Amino acid sequence: MRVSENDPALLDELLVCRLDSGRRNLEPCSIIIFGASGDLTARKLVPALYHLFLGRQMPMPFRIIGFARRAKTDEAWREELHEALTRFSRTRPIDEEVWRQFAANVHYCQGEFHELAAYTRLKHLLRGFGDPSLANNLLCYLATSPSQFGVVAERLSAAALIDKSGERGWQRLVIEKPFGADLASARQLNTELTRYAHETQLFRIDHYLGKETVQNLLMFRFSNSIFERLWNRDAIEHVQITVSEQHGVGSRGGYYEESGALRDMVQNHLLQVLALMAMEAPVSLEAEAIRDEKVKLLKAIRVWAPEQVLQQVVRGQYTAGTVAGKPRPAYRTEEKVAPESSVETYVALRVLIDNWRWSGVPFYLRTGKSLPAAASEVRVQFRPTPHVLFAAQCGPRLDANALTLRLQPDEGITLRFNGKVPGTSLQLRPVRMHFSYDAEFGAYTPEAYERLLLEAMSGDATLFIRRDEVEAAWTFVDAIREGWKGRTLENASFYEAGTWGPAAADALLARYGHTWRNPQAPATP
């Protein structure tokens, strides 16, 4: 869009929309990373913090403290992080002068997670920085195994490093998924954490919510009346949400044997996208108003009885095949995978939302590994027009209108409609209007962890998951797992690596007169 400098009214409107320039009212603080020697720290957390510093979005002053079991000096850890940054930074080469300034704020504290004396050493380190804010305003990032979440929280409380009263600065715990392995364990974990920290101090992170295009779901829906008026059962026939992955489980076979695609992807990523896609308009853009509506939506999802699961949910597992021209072994032959495993690497399910807006509209969700393309998108299929006028001439070429929101890659939005083919005869053909993030904005899209860390430091919980949100998602997922209990995979559940999933997934949609629309690159509906 081009804006004329002679149109002050329109310029004023754009100026209002730009008031949130990404700057936050950040207070000086210390970021403590528990599990500092892990892969997440090297690949995501420290590069994200470096880029925030590079963009002058970090609070000043700040400190970053790595907490882990291995003994090392500050300088040794800085060298490790520098090496990791040269591999994982989104901007290369690294600005060495900026890195030098950043690294001066990076420190290391050695200790076991259960060792109270280590937390005492951490406390002395924080007090030694001189500024009381650096000792009292603490962002504690638990990049540990879930079994350590409660231990770290208890020790932080015992050492008086976190305080539920809020009288001494602020302290927040950022918790990585998985949030439990089922509803019971999630409730137990939530109960344990809230024993030492208030719910408002817990920031459960799902990196998917940090993606720019996922956040844009809300902006697109509620700032464009042309679409919001159609966003209901009257205009929409069905919705498809696809999160496909090209890679297999690789070295994560042991983890996947415990989780499977349902718990690894559906319980968090896909249900979060569904919630943003289908929720009602919040009363404001405040964090709790948005999270309230997400919880209402998740609680409105129809929970399938065990005997209904086999009719409404498909699980699959990849066999040997070819992905992107390279051979891919079968899941059962991957490292640390049982030879007769029935763990799913693919899930497709039909979801119904029992509320006024979406009554009778099916939502089809699917995710899988070793698929032909790595893509995430939401496709909204509108109800077809009556075929009275064009059926005879156009037949199957008359397609229903569709809107595709491409979350990654080739981020953008595509509207599909029918247009007349030039010529003397009356012929219609589906055409599309496409908006591309890259073409329109040109600027970089920040990494999800950059946005999420910035929001956590500012205390904005909008993009983080609340306790009742976690438990509502597990309620739905546990019912599916109950329906699968004791059942092995059937022949129709297997799919060759490099294909779009098992035959049973196609049959699921065919029963209701629908077909999957597979993502392509660039995005097309």
Which one has a higher pLDDT value, 21 or 468? 468
Digit-coded pLDDT (tens) for 362-380: 999 999 999 999 999 999 9
Write the single-letter amino acid at 518: N
> Is 107 among the residues known to form the active site?
no
Supply the DSSP string of 97-116, one letter for each residue.
HHHHHHHTTEEEEE--TT-H
361 in Cβ contact with 328 (< 8 Å)? no
Structure tokens at 248: 């297999």
Sign of torsion over alpha carbons 444, 445, 449, 455: positive
Q: Please name every residue paired with 369 in a beta bridge, in sequence order, or none if there are none.
A: none
Which has the minimum average pLDDT: 163-177, 291-305, 405-419, 436-450? 436-450
Q: What per-residue confidence (pLDDT) applies to 281?
A: 94
Residue 18 has pLDDT above 70, yes or no: no
Alpha-carbon distance of 34 to 40, in angstroms, equals 11
Residue 21 has pLDDT above 90, yes or no: no
Average pLDDT over residues 48-72: 95
Alpha-carbon distance of 99 to 385, in angstroms, equals 59
Average pLDDT over residues 513-525: 73
- How many percent of the chain have pLDDT more than 90? 71
Closest to 264 (Cα-Cα) out of 327, 193, 191, 181? 181
Closest to 398 (Cα-Cα) out of 431, 429, 367, 426? 429
Q: Which domains does the chain have, with CATH numbers?
A: 29-176 (3.40.50.720), 209-510 (3.30.360.10)
94 in Cβ contact with 86 (< 8 Å)? yes
Which one has a higher pLDDT value, 455 or 417? 455
303 in Cβ contact with 475 (< 8 Å)? yes
Alpha helical stretches, state H, 415-494: 437-441, 448-458, 467-484
Q: What per-residue confidence (pLDDT) applies to 3?
A: 41
Residue 27 has pLDDT above 90, yes or no: yes
- DSSP conformational letter for 223: S
- How many percent of the chain have pLDDT more than 70? 90
Which one has a higher pLDDT value, 522 or 263? 263
Q: Please name every residue paired with 321 in a beta bridge, in sequence order, or none if there are none.
A: 328
Residue 149: pLDDT band by 50, 70, 90 thresholds? very high
Digit-coded pLDDT (tens) for 232-249: 999 999 999 999 999 999
Q: Please name every residue paired with 322 in a beta bridge, in sequence order, or none if there are none.
A: 327
Residue 208: pLDDT band by 50, 70, 90 thresholds? confident
Residue 389: pLDDT band by 50, 70, 90 thresholds? low
Q: Where is 217: in which H helix or E strand?
A: helix 212-222
Decide: helix, strand or coil at residue 146: helix
Q: What are phi and psi of 307, to 5 degrees?
A: -75, -15
Residue 391 has pLDDT above 80, yes or no: no
Average pLDDT over residues 352-361: 97
For 37, 209, 377, the CA distances from 495, given in Å and listed in that order, are: 37, 30, 21
Supply the DSSP string of 468-482, one letter for each residue.
HHHHHHHHHHHHHHH
Residue 77 has pLDDT above 50, yes or no: yes
Q: Where is 256: in which H helix or E strand?
A: helix 253-261
Structure tokens at 280: 């009602």
Helix 467-484 with 287-300: angle, nearest 10 deg:
20
Alpha-carbon distance of 297 to 280, in angstroms, equals 8
Residue 11 has pLDDT above 50, yes or no: no
Alpha helical stretches, state H, 112-182: 116-127, 132-136, 149-158
Q: Which of 82, 107, 207, 269 is catalytic?
A: 269
Alpha-carbon distance of 27 to 9, in angstroms, equals 36
Alpha-carbon distance of 59 to 453, in angstroms, equals 12
* Chain position carrying tokens 């640390």: 336
Q: What is the mean pLDDT of the chain?
A: 89
Closest to 209 (Cα-Cα) out of 287, 280, 296, 282? 287
